[in-house]
Amino acid sequence: MHYKNPPEFPKDFMWGASSAAWQVEGATDIDGRTPAIIDLNSQKKKPFADNSVASDHYHHYKEDVALMAECGFSSYRFSLSWSRIIPKSDGVVNQKGIEFYNNLINELVKNGITPIVTLYHYDMPVWVDEELGGWLSREIVDAFDHYCRVCFENFGDRVKYWLSINEQNMQIVYGSWLGVSKGTNDWDREKWKINHIMNLCHAKAVIGCHELVEGGKIGPVPGIVPFYPETCRPEDQIATQNAEEFTEKLWNDFYVYRDYSPFLKRYWIENDIDPDIRPGDMELCERARIDFFALNCYRSNVAKHSPIESSHQEIKLNKDGVKGNFVYPNYPGVFEQTGNPYVETTDWDWEIDPIAMRYMLRYMWNHYRLPMMITENGYGAHESLSEDGQLHDPERINFLRDQIYQVGLAIQDGCDVISYNLWSFTDLLSTGNGMAKRYGLVFVNRTDDDLKDLRRVKKDSFYWYSNLIKSKGKEF
């Protein structure tokens, strides 16, 4: 639908940005924090930097929050480090970790910024992996429940928006790349046991929040990449539905309906898969009624029919930022992914498709009728300071302008969207590309191999976003 007037955002709409503890904090071995698996993985990704310093938010949080306030933020989505709060298997709380997050939360609240807190963002403690068996073991469920309850008890008086597990669907879909497949012998089969254990952890978080946080609301954080069919050929449409199911819809249906879909149950039967659902599990999940969806959306994908006799091809992500190095996956008889000639791409072959944002919000609203917030959406690029010491990023401004406009159109379409939090506020460690791939509104003066002075420099996009916020979404 085309509207005569530009979109208007609700008066209480929250504007902000997002980060994750392991990508921004640094300080990985001080004040009682113990290693996380992601620390060890980041150390293997040479020539990219590891996360031992990252953006050093741990020591710069006051400066960073002051910049958020200057920009006009009304929300900030960040994650807590499990191993900073519960550093050992004895379950003893690290008061230094509690103190850091209390200081950060207090600084946000003092500046009128609503904290939106993710409990788990890819950073399993090493002790959980080595002593409990990680995601392969059900022992993680009670340990995660303990951690969540410690967070609710210590921060729930000021934090009312909570997020359970970041991109659970992506951790299963890209299990090898994200390290979740560690210790498995047959990932395609065992991933469904891991996924079920993750669902039990998610349920524990939801139940704990509602029990312990007065007025608390909690939701999951799926990564959503909308799929379009390559053509109007009926086989391409079914392939697209398959792609939706196996990358996102299975998870979203579970969060809302608290049961596995008939589609997935049939898939398990057809492929002789046992997800190891035990007595009491589904009763626990039934109690975990979510309040909203937090959504991460950067791009779109295209699917087409995949003949059963075709060759299997795993996805190969572009890790160096040289266009054309992305390899599309093919799952014979299910779907094949392919390129979209109608949209531009970033240097990492990610589709630049603002309309996907509106499509995604309408899709989620039409299916689930729950409030939504955007918790990740952004533009990654190779960047360095210009000779005048500034960072001019018109491509990011154009990207954000088009994406946020589509959020506004989705609101006009009737979608209940309560917040937009772009990725990211400062430059931080990219999941696969270290400091080489920058997303921030604020430049952090360091490279992968040189810490320099970690100085914060406001990019042109900082000023643009600030103006948009202060105009209440009217001055694009």
Q: What is the pLDDT of residue 180?
A: 86
CA–CA dist 141, 125 (Å, integer): 14
- Please determine, looking at this structure, whether the domain spanning 14-226+290-300+342-470 carries the CATH number 3.40.50.12160: no
Look at residue 431 and tell me whether its pLDDT is greater than 90: no
Looking at the DSSP bridge assignments, the partners of residue 442 are 426, 458
Mean pLDDT over 99-120 rounds to 98
Q: Is 283 marked active-site?
A: no
CA angle centred on 361, ends 12 and 268, rounded to 5°: 130
On whether the CB atoms of residues 444 and 428 are closer than 8 A, the answer is yes
Question: How is the beta sheet containing 335-338 ordered, strand by strand?
Answer: 227-229, 301-304, 335-338, 330-331
- Please write the tens of the pLDDT for every residue from 179-224: 788 889 999 999 999 999 999 999 999 999 999 999 999 999 999 9
Look at residue 1 and tell me whether its pLDDT is greater than 80: no
CA–CA dist 164, 222 (Å, integer): 10
Q: What is the pLDDT of residue 111?
A: 98
Whether pTM > 0.75 for this model: the answer is yes
Q: What is the pLDDT of residue 236?
A: 98
Please pick, among 107, 248, 376, 383, the residue that the annotation labels catalytic: 376
CA–CA dist 280, 380 (Å, integer): 44
Q: What is the dihedral of CA 314, 318, 322, 323, to 10 degrees?
A: 60
- Please write the tens of the pLDDT for every residue from 41-80: 777 777 788 888 999 999 999 999 999 999 999 999 999 9
- Please write the tens of the pLDDT for every residue from 118-127: 999 999 999 9
Encoded tokens for 275: 């997800």
Q: What is the pLDDT of residue 178?
A: 77
Q: Is 376 marked active-site?
A: yes
Average pLDDT in the chain: 95
Please pick, among 167, 244, 351, 383, the residue that the annotation labels catalytic: 167
